[in-house]
Amino acid sequence: MSYDLAVWEGERPADDKLAGRIFNDLYDRYLDGETHEPASERISAHVAALLQRWCDITEDSEETSPWPAGPLIDSARGPLMYFGMSWNMAEEASAYAAGLAELMGLVCFDVQENRLRP
């Protein structure tokens, strides 16, 4: 089981309800659809920054990575990244990922809580 976040390009939604609808639309279009568009440049940069902090699980010989599946870039399509992290590192990793998204002008959405992350 993992703790999941979504990060996407776009304007920050006005509230959590709208963010949930946007997330569902993006998920249906980019992750559940037939097309396999590569991650956008900004989403790829977000992934690269996360991997600077913690290595990809596919390269983790010391078992310190919070990413339970890899390669992490496979969690991204087009302007959306939907990724999990191990529960034992979820608090630290999700705070870092959300803060990084904000710095990069991306939207971060907590899928479990159905709320925007600051």
User: Which residue segment(s) compose the domain that 15 sits in?
Assistant: 2-116
Q: What is the pLDDT of residue 15?
A: 97
Measured between alpha carbons, how far is 41 from 115 in angstroms, rounded to an integer?
25
Total tally of structural domains belonging to the chain: 1
* Run means of pLDDT, 10 residues per run, the chain, 118 residues: 92 97 96 87 97 90 85 96 94 96 97 92
Q: What is the pLDDT of residue 60?
A: 75
Q: What is the pLDDT of residue 91?
A: 94
